[in-house]
Structures are given as structure tokens and as C-alpha cells.
Amino acid sequence: MATTQPQPTKYQYSKPSLKGKMVLNTEQAKFFAGNRFDSLMTALFIIDVTSRKLAKNLKTFDHKAVVDAVSKKIERMEVAVRDESERMDTLLKSLGIKELAGYSSPLTREFEITSPEIKRMSSLLQAFDHLIIQVDTAWLHEKIDSSEAEEFRANKSNQMARLIRSLVGLGQSARAKAYASKVAELQEDIEKAEAKVSAEKEEREAAGHIEPEGNVDALDSLPEEAVA
């Protein structure tokens, strides 16, 4: 009786990752934390893995230029949020307000950090959440009127939407380049990442997670020319 020979195991490249976790309080930040964050993470992963592997296979491909372009887009929003948050902090302190507003239904989002840009964007979303908390606090103390507070929230939400939409667009372009390159390993990495995100979305839905809609889907309603 012939014995079945074990099949050789295909070599699997070992990829580093970190466990990420966000607790977001405001509706404006929660808006970006579900499927929109999935799309963002997938895009950033695809940009990272595609640019690195294309640079290895195509000598004319500039990996650093791609990384720098993504970094600058994120940095602009980081600076804007930080500056506004420092301004709000100064205002609240000058008014003797020490305690920030609390929220009835925070959202906890766990995720996998597979690139430095994903970590930066999760930190940015948390900073954005904190900024909106500061504005809500000033509003509740009647230091900012309702129309001013609402305009501020809408403007900052649209800025965040533009950034995310722009990064997702870069990810879509990188995906197209990856498939055009015919590099099988690259396509396999992308398919695995997309399948993982799809499975996690199904798990959230099965657990009863409802995607926050807000009044307007800023990602979908922004005109193309508004994306920077």
C-alpha cells in the first residue's frame, strides 16, 4: 500500500502588524470609523505594498515619491486639527472650563495596523474626535452659538472626508497598477487584504453594528474637484 507523500508547504512571507484600537465619541468621528475606515485601511495597505513591490520589479518606479505624497496629504490635516485643537484648548482654559463633554454612545473600533500610515490615520481620527469634543464643550457652556458650532463641525468633517476620499482614490490607482503589472504575489496580497476586510465587515454586521449615516454622506457627496 503506497503511502501518501505530504505536499510541500508553500512559503509564506511573514508580515509585521500591530493591534490597533480607537474609542470615538462624537458622531462626526464615528461616521468615518466603520466601512469608510475599512476602505481607508485597504487603500493604505495597497499603496504601501504596491509601491514597494513595484519599485523592486520596475526600476523606474519611485517608491519614495508615493510615500511622500501620502504623508503630505495626511500631514496637512494633522496640522489643521492640531492648530484648531490648541486654539480651542486656549479658549476653554481662558473661560475656566476644565471638564470636557461626555457622550452617551462611544464607538470602539479594533483593527490591524499593517502600515505606518494606518497608524497615523487612526491617531488623526482620534485627534479629530477630541477637537469636536472641545467644540461641543464650548457649545454646551454657551460660549459658541449653535450655528457656529454646526458650521465648524461640518467644515472639519468635509476636510476629513476629502482626505479619506483622496487616499482611497490613490489606493484604487495603486490597485490598478498592481493588476496591470501582472505580479502574481502582489495581486494575491491585495486579494487577501480585501477578503479580510470583507470578513470583518460581515462580523460587525452579524454582531449588530449599524453603520452611522449622518445627514449627508460627505465621502459620496463631495464633487471630484473638491478632492485635494
One-letter-per-residue 3-state SS of 6-59: CCCCCCCCCCCCEEEEEEECCHHHHCCCCHHHHHHHHHHHHHHHHHHHHHHHCC
Contact assessment for residue 118 and residue 146, using Cβ atoms and an 8 Å cutoff: no
Region label for 54, one of left (φ > 0), alpha (ψ between -120 and 50) or beta (otherwise)? alpha
pLDDT at 19: 92
pLDDT of 60 reads: 64
Alpha helices in 58-104 (DSSP H): 63-94
Size of the chain, expressed as the number of residues it contains: 228
Angle ∠(186,191,195) on CA atoms, nearest 5: 150
How is 196-208 classified by DSSP, letter by letter? HHHHHHHHHHHTT
* pLDDT digit string, tens, across residues 26-75: 999 999 998 899 999 999 988 888 887 777 766 666 677 888 889 999 99
Distance of CA 98 to the CA centre of its chain: 30
User: pLDDT at position 119, please?
Assistant: 95
Residue 184 pLDDT: 80
Burial category of 72 from C-beta neighbours within 10 Å (exposed 0-12, middle 13-18, buried 19 and up)? exposed
Q: 3-class SS at 112?
A: strand
3-state secondary structure (DSSP) of residue 110: strand
Check residue 5 and give its pLDDT. Answer: 64
C-alpha cell at 222: 463631495
Mean pLDDT per 10-residue run, the chain (228 residues)? 62 78 96 92 88 72 79 96 98 95 94 91 98 97 96 96 94 85 81 83 75 49 40
Among candidate residues 226, 221, 218, 220, the one with its CA nearest the CA of residue 31: 218
What pLDDT is attached to residue 80? 97
Q: Tens digits of per-residue pLDDT, 99-112?
A: 999 999 999 999 88
